[in-house]
Every structure is written in C-alpha cells, then in structure tokens.
Amino acid sequence: MTASPHQPFRILIADDDPAVVARIAEQAREAGHDVCGMVSTAAAAIAAVAEEKPDLVVMDAALGEDDDGVKTAMQMRLAHNVALVFLSATDDEDTLRRVLSVSPSGYLFKPVRARDLKVTLELALRRHKREADERHSLQSLAQTDSLTGLSNRRHLDETLADEWNRCGEVGKPLGVLMVDIDHFKQFNDSFGHMAGDLCLARVAETLKAACPHPTKTVGRWGGEEFLVILPDSDAQATQRTGEFILQAVRESGDASTQALSQQPVTISVGAAATLPAPGATPRDLIHLADMRLYAAKRGGRNQVSGGPPLAIDAPSTPQS
C-alpha cells in the first residue's frame, strides 16, 4: 500500500454505468482520495490495476452483461493482492455468497451515499493494511531461525536457488561462505546448551553486522554452521568477505562466552564461488564450500580456505 495518513489513497473505479462512476469519483475526491482510473470492463480493470497500482478498487459485482466483477476480482487478488470494495444494486443471496468468496475489504449497495463511501474506504484500507502486515509477519517467521534471527535453512535454500538462476542469466558469479564455530561441540558439552545458544546468537550478530549489504544473505545452515550468500561475488571477493568476517568474530570480544572457555570464540570458513552454468547446480557450490570448510578445520581452524577446487574426499559433516 503506497498511501500514508498524510497522503490520499489511490482509488480505481470499475463500473459500466458512467453516472455511478462519476458520482463515486466525485465522492472519493471530496473525501480526500486520488482517483487514478475509471474503467467500464473487466479487461480494462485488470490492465489498470497492473499499470496504476491503486491502493483500492471499487468494483461493480456484476460488471456489464458479459463481464463478471467477482471473477475479475479473484484475478486481481491473485496477481496483485489489491484491496477491494464491491458495489451492487441487489442483495440476493447468490451475489452475496459469490462476493464473500473473494474476501473483499468492503461492500456497498447502490446508490452509494458519500458518508457510507468515505467510511467504507477508510475501513477497507485499514483492514487490508492489517492483513498485509499479518501476512508479512507470518512470512518472516517462516523464513527466520528462532534462535539467531537470521534466515533459516528453508529461506537459504530458496535464496540460493533464486540467486543461482539470476546470476546465471546475467553472467555474474555467485559466491558462498560456509562458516562453522570452532570446537563448538566441546563448548556445548562443557558449559551447557544455554551457553551454547548464547554463543550461537553472538556469532550470528557478528556475521550479520559484518555483512550489512542487503544483497548479502546470512543464515543458519544448521547446528553451529552458517551460510553467507554473496551474489555477483567472484572467488577473490568471496575470499575477502570471508577474511573480513573471520576477523570480525576474532575481535567481537564476547566476554560472556570467552570467560567460560578461557579462550576466544573463533570460526572456520570455506569460501567458494562460481559462474553458474548449465549442468551445474547450487548444491555443487555448497559441496565445494563444505570441502573447503573441512580443509580449514584440518589446517588448524580459525582461518578461511578458498582458492581452486580442492582434490580431497571430504566427509559430508566437517569436524567441529
């Protein structure tokens, strides 16, 4: 929704009666709203919603002899999720049932009084905004790891697939960093799960702060492993980002966890980048990063391993 309390709402009116359209447009303008379009057919309404992107559509439930406002509304809701207020000259049960199936934000009987229109538009737009906020909150919950607040595994998989396809289409490289907290199992076993959860949360905060650019996605891959997705990042740039977050964790100075283990919390990082090509998959890139993470662990931990493909047969789960 583009409007705020200090801006007029953008209203599209769809009705095949010119007198009705003119009257509602006048009433909407008097109420302080912007009428961004007036159409008389279903096809014109669909095109206008796509082009004008109104905040709300006021539509006749029976749009013309052959057109069907309810069917048109369903298409609009699926494609654009726009707020809808239906108009109707009848109150028969069949019309009401079909209108309610679209879950409109409001319903008005003709002839429409100015006061009724003003109140209905305000309530409809508030309801639509509340529903949109609720959907956004639910979507965020479905994509977020509850402990760290980072992207969860599901969202990482979706983002990686999307970026793989996009980078492949535009001919840009895609980089990833597989990050693992060193000696985490030992830490968890020695000091308990609450301390382990705190350690995970602190490292997550550091990783997120080290990758503030909105195109970079940081998430919890599983357990004590994190994944950083770096679109448009070649091997050198991916390596540099890995070194940067490695240093950021070294310098984070989390006294609450370091006091327990008497040593700094560190990470190992596997860095990999590639130009997505036919025949390859995102899993190939993840596997390469996982191999390099294993190499960083085997090389002494607290380091980044990158460069050319590694000729080793690594286990699927790196050492802690």
127, 226, 249, 124: which is closest to 177 by C-alpha?
226
Alpha-carbon span 122 to 320, nearest angstrom: 57
Q: Which residues of 212-227 are buried (b: 16+ CB within 10 A; e: fewer)?
A: eeeebbbbbbeebbbb
Token pair of 159 as six digits: 């983002």
Give the relative orientation of helices 184-191 and 193-210 as an angle to the nearest 10 degrees: 140
Helices (H), 63-144: 69-80, 93-100, 114-143
The catalytic position among 26, 93, 224, 225 is: 224
Q: Coil, strand or helix: which one is 185?
A: helix
Are the C-beta atoms of 146 and 219 separated by less than 8 Å?
no
Alpha-carbon span 228 to 207, nearest angstrom: 9
Token pair of 231 as six digits: 């679109």
122 is catalytic: no
The residues carrying an active-site annotation are 224
